[in-house]
Amino acid sequence: MDVVKTIEEQLSNNHIILYMKGSPNAPQCGFSAKTVQALMACGEKFAYVDILEHPELREALKSHSNWPTYPQLYVDGELVGGCDIVLDMYEKGKLQTLVKSDAA
């Protein structure tokens, strides 16, 4: 399957998805770890993709999102941002609202 189609499928099939280095239980960078902590504190389930295991996807997603770094958080197919944005939103209570408000 084409890597762009894979990305589009992942985004459309998951309410919340995090493209990160490692996994939620074993993050491979501090930024991914902080982002996971903020997401888990919201209490919502989320999907993740370990970009270290998928180098083609890692490069394609940078072009797709026009965002050069990881982690990348998406809610309902829309890029929310990386670690700094997610942490800022969490501290202001906006992340909790975003991930819960659209839950079906």
pTM for the structure as a whole: 0.93
Confidence of residue 103 (pLDDT cuts 50, 70, 90): very low
Q: What is the pLDDT of residues 32-70, one digit of tens each?
A: 999 999 999 999 999 999 999 999 999 999 999 999 999
Residue 91 pLDDT grade (very low, low, confident, very high; cuts 50, 70, 90): very high
| Domains in the chain with CATH codes | 3-101 (3.40.30.10)
- Secondary structure of the chain in the HEC alphabet? CCHHHHHHHHHHHCCEEEEECEECCEECCHHHHHHHHHHHHHCCCCEEEEHHHCHHHHHHHHHHHCCCCCCEEEECCEEEECHHHHHHHHHCCHHHHHHHHCCC
